[in-house]
Amino acid sequence: MAQPADVTSASRYEDWRLLKDRITRYLVAVGGTGVIIAILLIFFYLFWVVFPLFVPASADRVASFATPAPEAGPTLLLATDELGEMGVRYTNDGHAVFFDLVSGKPLPPTALLAAPAPGQVTVAVSESAASSLVALGLADGSLLPIRHRFKVSYPNDVRTITPEIEYPYGEEPVAIDDAGQPLSHVAIRDSDDRFSVAAITADHRVVVRSFEKQTNLITEESTLEPVLDQTLTPPFEPDFLLLDPYQTTLYLANRGGDLARYTLAEDELQLAERVRVVAKGELTALRFLLGGFSLLVGNSQGEIAQWMPVRDAENRTTLQRIRSFDYQQAPILAIEAESRRKGFLAADAEGYVGVYHSTADRKLLVERIADQAVTAIAISPRGDTLLARDAKGGLQTWRLHNEHPEVSWSALWGKVQYEGHSEPKYIWQSSAATNDFEPKFSLTPLAFGTIKAAFFAMLVAVPLAILGAIYTAYFMSPAMRQLVKPTIEIMEALPTVILGFLAGLWLAPFVEHHLFGVFAIFFALPFSALLFAWVWHNLPERIRGGVPEGWEALLLIPVLLLAGWLVFVLGPPFEGMVFGEGGMRTWVEQVLGIDYDQRNALVVGIAMGFAVIPNIFSITEDAVFSVPKHLTFGSLALGATPWQTLSRVVILTASPGIFSAVMIGMGRAVGETMIVLMATGNTPVMDLSLFQGMRTLSANIAVEMPESEVGSTHYRVLFLAAFVLFLFTFLVNTLAEVVRQRLRRKYSNL
Amino acid sequence: MSSKFSSWVRSGEPWIWINAGAVSLSIIAVLGLLLLIAVRGLGHFWPHAVLEVKYHETPDRVVQVIGEVHDQEEVTGERLRAAGVAVPAEVVNTSRYLVKVGNRETYGSDFRWLAEPLMEGSSYPAAVMVLERREWGNFFGYLKSVQEGNTTVAEGEAAWDALQERIQRARDIYRQIRDIETGEIGTVNYAMERLRLKQRRLELDGKFTPAAGEELAAKRQQLEESYGKLQVQLSALYDQVRRDHLTATIADGSEVTIEVAQVVRAYRPNALHLGEKLSFYAVKLWEFVSEEPREANTEGGIFPAIFGTVMMVFLMSLMVTPFGVVAAVYLREYAKQGPLTRLIRIAVNNLAGVPSIVYGVFGLGFFVYLLGGNIDRLFFPEALPAPTFGTPGILWASLTLAILTVPVVIVATEEGLSRIPRSIREGSLALGATKAETLWRTVLPMASPAMMTGIILAIARAAGEVAPLMLVGVVKLAPSLPLDGNAPFLHLERKFMHLGFHIYDVGFQSPNVEAARPLVYATSLLLVFVIVVLNLAAITIRNRLREKYRALEH
């Protein structure tokens, strides 16, 4: 059936309208959900960055192969390159065998000695986990220091690693034992100007020699001048020895578990202390942790204990057992420290390898990698490749996935005994100039600072805001209310950077100079308000009638200004009488013995209180104002005074709203950044004092985030701090919001 | 009397007064703060009178001091004596003055405290001259003569006019130098960098042919030539600008020679009459908002910070407006109103209370490192390892602030939508309009003031926010603005300066906080002014709107 043309065009127009409607619906839905998802993305992204902190370590076997180039002799020492691509073994006939860590294929062995022969090298050790300097102890009592390097080049765009051996002190071995006895154990340390060797000879003597380095400026070759040559007579026959990086402390230990500490005094090593470090079983392994400060003691029970020198109150240093890791059962045969973190690996006689971190007191992984004992291990400098040798001489390469061992519940929130500190402490100190620094990631002082700042801010803000809001909502005349509310909104909108700037540069010096006045004003203001009220009350009706009800606040403005002015004018002479010439500030420091920071919690409290007042004010005002009028009318009609009505009816009804106002105010105080950044010294101290500063979580993020390396533990811990802040404020605000919504429903039911 | 008092207490009236006091105190605090900023900020530009005084540093050492009095405080004599100031023992309470003595190259610091009892014979000589310089802060002294090269061209009173003339000349030349340095040479450098990146890009793509190489080399040659020409021009200008010198005596009587090119402005504050002071004030105020900072931001203007703030806020509103409105429309008009929507509404509401630094962390991790890093890898491989978008910049800053402020816009728009009576929507639908038409023709126009309020509040919040910006793109001194004459004109990857961060940086990170403080107050004043105006606008619009809806409901 043919239809008139205008009907078709009308229906086409109709279709077009419906299509537009559908497109709009679709676009709005997509856009709307998109925005909401984007907002929620914040939560998931923060979580995604933080998550790796809590992933346990894992390890995969990359390769296992027989000893490469076995003809070069048995292995004395293993090492790897930076990325874990090439390994090296030092053999007892004076060869270095470089081999690929994946295929196990060796390069031709490099002869290190002029005449390599089996048994020529009695011991090979590296200086420390972080060093590529290796010492070969020889059968004739001399020692050859060498250094291996892995040079990376790109001939024809192919990544090629070329190993090199250097002789920093010449190719001639350095004589250590004058008696010419073979060296059975060796420890070396090398610094810019000094080179020291400690060795145990085959006849159980301990020889220590130190050399001063003379570097020829032209040839850049070093020659060694002996400065110390000492033979120790230890109280036991030692089986282990370690020399610290400063070359001033020597540790000797025997399998029985005795440990002796020698320190350099008057150019001589003297026995400082002797302790038993193993209670049960035998001492089977002894290593330094990175930095050469802590000792790792492995025993035949499979336990590794961390010992370190701790200075007590009388400035005496003693070795103390800090923590222990008891996760393996068989005797610990080898311990190897990581070279950039305070972590270490331990291999035992049943073929287990454990990965641990000392500061975090954390076992990251214990994995069985062989059916027989694992006798030697090496870790790449990045800490992600493990090279292990078992009792049958087989080698294995493992990749370790151990990105963030530094973090554990105890490291983040507990007291930790850090190296160089006399007792367990809460410390936040994320970075330092040296490589062997122990990062201190305790969030406790930061959380403490956050709560402290928020607490003082709330102390200032809550009374002012709530009392003010109640007055504004209940007593104030509507005309004045119309002026007060926008003023409070302006107060809320003031940028915190300006509040912080004023707090730091104007308020802080002001408070310091007028400390007494600041305290006095807390009492003077309410007192003057009451005094004025009483005077006003007794004024003749004629004058009182001139001011309509609900304008009390306006009357009080000049009164309070006058009272404040009087306090700061009359205060100083009075202060001088009470606290002496120096005033209260000096009195606080000298008589009370409290340190006074110029930018302290008092300043933060006032400044941040100012920032929080409007938040609390607006919500409280809203809650009080929307209390149904018939409730108050009823109460007033029954003869209650306005104040009775307010305190017995209105506030009770509105109390959930006031509660949520306080919660929201607290959420703001906890997350505020600029004010605390500018009005405190930002030192992460844990001190309740009103006159000390603090560092908050948010300020810490602002200070440290730009410098932290992407993906590092520090970076993720800062994200964790942000995540904690996010969750905390979000939950607090949600709680407050739910309370408010229920209150609103209650009002509408009333 | 006592029974009267106790009945007064029982009536609860004192409590009412205490509550009123809390309001009064809050209002005093707000107004006092605004007043403090206004007085200190506006005072910065006024030409201070310059004091000359004899000062008894020790009983037998008297020095002449010239400077502006900046502060005064009451202090006990004992404290002064403890600090090593030689006030006589009988002085108990006195005051001391903070005097800006300038001449940093001679005295080492700009300020010194003078104790009242040791000052003798204060005067405000009309001939005292203040020089604002490009380096070393202000100079205080008496003009002696003006030299051109090695010949003295004017002395005595004639020197003053000669000096003003020559300062004007030097300023003109200096402006030319700056135009060449930042403008033309900047353009050449920019083009050079583009050529380098182009070549690298060709190499990366494997399309680098000898022909392309020649073409690039020819272009480079051309640029180098124009660069050479500019250099010649520049050195000629530098020779010209260094022609004149002035000789002046400072407080202790010694003579100092200063290059006229170093002087931005010379004035004799004590000789200025009111009209001159006012015009001086206007000039300084204009310099403050229109010029670039000098001396590590502690002197000069804040134009780049104003520009950066405005541009960042502008970009942010471009992003936040459509998304905020669409999300609000979806939540209020399209989404099914159930527990889930309520939950989302609460969540969005609460995001406004999440600390801003958290958004900064998110912006740094997600936008800068994740998004920016990938954009660099995909689109700007030629510049790597130097990041293009993988580093904080204005785009990421405005995006971060857009996310931070989107809840504000959503909440305000939703409120506006919810206040529109159902009857209006139903009327439109009943007349046969589709939902989209109802939305577009009636609902949105009616809600537009509410959206406006939301956007203004968002802008006010974004303009004052500093903490997240510190992570995602603000710097203390940006070498170039994000908008300039080099194609593509808008450089979203660049870092920028910001008023709020300027306050933090100059007030807390600058080496000479005392000297910079007035400038920080002035900057604060500007920022506060902008934010207060924006907020008052939002409040006014909202109040009008409420009136309107109230009228609609009846």
Interface of A with B in 210-229 (CB under 8 A): none
Q: State whether residue A447 sits within 8 Å of chain B by CB.
A: no
**Chain center to CA of A311:** 24
- For residue A732, give both structure tokens: 């607090």
A530/B361 Cβ within 8 A: no
C-alpha–C-alpha distance, residues B486 and B185, integer Å: 12
pLDDT digits (tens, 9 = 90+) for B228-243: 888 888 888 888 888 8
Identify the CATH number of the domain in which residue B386 sits. Answer: 1.10.3720.10
State the smallest CA–CA distance between residue B14 and chain A in angstroms: 6
A706/B470 Cβ within 8 A: yes
- Report the amino acid identity of residue B261: A
Interface of A with B in 325-344 (CB under 8 A): none
Beta bridge partners of A189: A196
**Judging by beta carbons within 10 Å of its beta carbon (0-12, 13-18, 19+), is residue A354 exposed, middle or buried?**
buried
A674/B346 Cβ within 8 A: no
Q: Return the residue of B nearest to A469 by Cα.
A: B23
B132 found inside a domain:
yes
**pLDDT at site B397:** 92
pLDDT higher than 90, residue B506: no
Are B343 and B222 found together in one domain?
no
Q: Return the residue of B nearest to A707 by Cα.
A: B471
Are B343 and B204 found together in one domain?
no
Are B478 and B437 found together in one domain?
yes
What's the ipTM? Answer: 0.88
- Smallest CA-to-CA distance from B400 within B501, B320, B326 is with B320
Total count of domains within chain B? 3
* pTM confidence score: 0.88
CA dihedral B185, B190, B196, B199 (to 10 degrees): -120
Q: How many CA atoms lie within 13 A of B384 on its CB side?
A: 13
Are B241 and B365 found together in one domain?
no
A557/B361 Cβ within 8 A: no
Q: State whether residue A537 sits within 8 Å of chain B by CB.
A: yes
C-alpha–C-alpha distance, residues A215 and A168, integer Å: 11
Q: Return the residue of B nearest to A739 by Cα.
A: B346
Which residue has tokens 């994320």?
A: A430
Are B311 and B378 found together in one domain?
yes
pLDDT digits (tens, 9 = 90+) for B271-324: 888 898 899 999 988 988 888 888 777 788 888 888 889 899 989 999 999 888
- For residue A744, give both structure tokens: 């609103």
Residues 6+ apart with CB under 8 A from B396: B363, B367, B368, B371, B372, B389, B472, B473
A490/B535 Cβ within 8 A: yes
pLDDT digits (tens, 9 = 90+) for B126-153: 888 888 888 888 888 888 888 888 888 8
* Chain B positions in Cβ-Cβ contact with residue A38 (cut-off 8 Å): 323, 403
B1 found inside a domain:
no
Which of B74, B323, B440 is the closest to A35 by Cβ?
A: B323
State the smallest CA–CA distance between residue B136 and chain A in angstroms: 23
Beta bridge partners of A385: A399
Are B208 and B257 found together in one domain?
yes
Assign domain A285-401 one CATH number from 2.130.10.10, 1.10.1740.10, 1.20.1530.20, 3.40.50.2300: 2.130.10.10
Which of A576, A674, A718 is the closest to B466 by Cβ?
A: A674
B505 found inside a domain:
yes
The set of long-range contacts for A274-281, using a CB threshold of 8 Å and a minimum separation of 24, is A274/A235, A275/A307, A275/A318, A275/A319, A277/A253, A277/A305, A277/A307, A277/A319, A277/A321, A281/A257, A281/A331
* Chain B positions in Cβ-Cβ contact with residue A533 (cut-off 8 Å): 13-14, 17
Sign of the four-CA dihedral B174, B176, B177, B179? positive
**Chain center to CA of B257:** 34
Containing structural domain, residue B345: 303-553
Residues 6+ apart with CB under 8 A from B23: A467, A468, A471, A472, A476, A484, A553
Are B461 and B448 found together in one domain?
yes
**pLDDT at site A1:** 46
Are B64 and B159 found together in one domain?
no
Are B114 and B145 found together in one domain?
no
Edge-first strand listing for the sheet containing A183-190: A183-190, A194-201, A206-215, A222-232
Interface of A with B in 491-510 (CB under 8 A): 491, 493-498, 500-502, 504-506
Q: Are A412 and A357 in contact (CB under 8 A)?
A: no
C-alpha–C-alpha distance, residues B443 and B50, integer Å: 63
Q: Are B527 and A498 in contact (CB under 8 A)?
A: yes
**How many H-runs (helices) and E-runs (strands) does chain A carry?**
17, 31
Are B135 and B195 found together in one domain?
no
C-alpha–C-alpha distance, residues A640 and A622, integer Å: 23
In this prediction, the residues of chain A whose per-residue pLDDT falls under 70 are 1-7, 220, 581-582
- Report the amino acid identity of residue A567: V
Which residue has tokens 């900046």?
A: B70
- Mean of per-residue pLDDT scores for chain B: 85
State mean pLDDT over B438-452.
86
C-alpha–C-alpha distance, residues A115 and B72, integer Å: 85
Domain boundaries, chain A: 60-276, 285-401, 456-711+728-747
B486 found inside a domain:
yes
Distances (CA, A) of B258 to B47, B147, B157, B266, B421: 22, 10, 18, 12, 74
**Judging by beta carbons within 10 Å of its beta carbon (0-12, 13-18, 19+), is residue A330 exposed, middle or buried?**
middle
| Architecture of the domain whose range is A456-711+728-747 | Orthogonal Bundle (1.10)
* Chain B positions in Cβ-Cβ contact with residue A722 (cut-off 8 Å): 357-358, 361-362
- For residue A572, give both structure tokens: 């100083």
Sign of the four-CA dihedral B322, B327, B333, B335? positive
B176 found inside a domain:
yes
State the smallest CA–CA distance between residue A178 and chain B in angstroms: 56
Under DSSP, is residue A31 helix (H, G, I), strand (E, B) or coil?
helix
Q: Return the residue of A nearest to B472 by Cα.
A: A706
Are B135 and B183 found together in one domain?
no
Under DSSP, is residue B140 helix (H, G, I), strand (E, B) or coil?
strand
A643/B465 Cβ within 8 A: no
Which of B74, B326, B470 is the closest to A35 by Cβ?
A: B326
Interface of A with B in 710-749 (CB under 8 A): 710, 718-719, 722, 725-726, 729-730, 733-734, 737-738, 741
Which of A27, A490, A734 is the closest to B532 by Cβ?
A: A490
Are B516 and B397 found together in one domain?
yes
C-alpha–C-alpha distance, residues B242 and A245, integer Å: 58
